[in-house]
Amino acid sequence: INQFSSPPIPGDLIEIFRGLYQHWAIYVGDGNVIHVVLPSENTDAGGSRVKSVLRNKAIVKKEKLQDVVSSDKYRINNVLDEKYQPLPDILQKAENLVGETLPYDLLTRNCEHFVTQLRYGTPQSQQVQLSGAKSCGFCCCMLLHFLHFTF
């Protein structure tokens, strides 16, 4: 399902909605995106995705946007354009990384960090920041609830 009001241009960040999380890719033209994937995302092995996350490795792939998106909703989301100027050599850097295995960490080096590093020169993940704030809020509420009934 195409969620674009206008077609993406090379260098645009693509946010793909996958239920509990968003996957991110960078559009490089001709219907292609570059993104990081866990090695197990190419297989149907049940527990191997968890093992890939624990091994802290991801592969940079260039694929058709439609193949990456499948039936998920997606949109152009150049999330940090108001804060940072996009870099001039986004596409060259992205293309040079295709096929590379990179360090991966869900909280500090995920797919959103990868694309924001390419576009802006700074790795950031708003979904990690939001998740962290929600988790912290939940823990504080539980602690207050516990303290209320303990004292």
Looking at 111, 113, 136, 141, which residue is catalytic? 111
- Active-site annotation holds for 23: yes
Reply yes or no on whether 140 is catalytic.
Answer: no
- How many angstroms separate the CA atoms of 7 and 53, rounded? 33
End-to-end CA distance of the chain: 53
Single-letter residue type at 95: E
Would you call 145 a catalytic residue per the annotation? no
Task: Enumerate the H helices of 58-123 as residue ranges.
Answer: 65-69, 90-97, 111-120
Kindly name the residue from 23, 139, 145, 148 that is annotated as catalytic. 23
Spatial separation of the C-alpha atoms in residues 139 and 123, rounded to whole Å: 27
User: Looking at the DSSP assignment, which residues form a beta bridge with residue 96?
Assistant: none
Q: Which two tokens stand for residue 124?
A: 């950031």
Task: Output DSSP code: residue 41.
Answer: G
Give the angle 56-103-84 at the CA atoms, nearest 5°: 130
The amino acid sitting at 37 is V
Catalytic site positions: 23, 35, 111
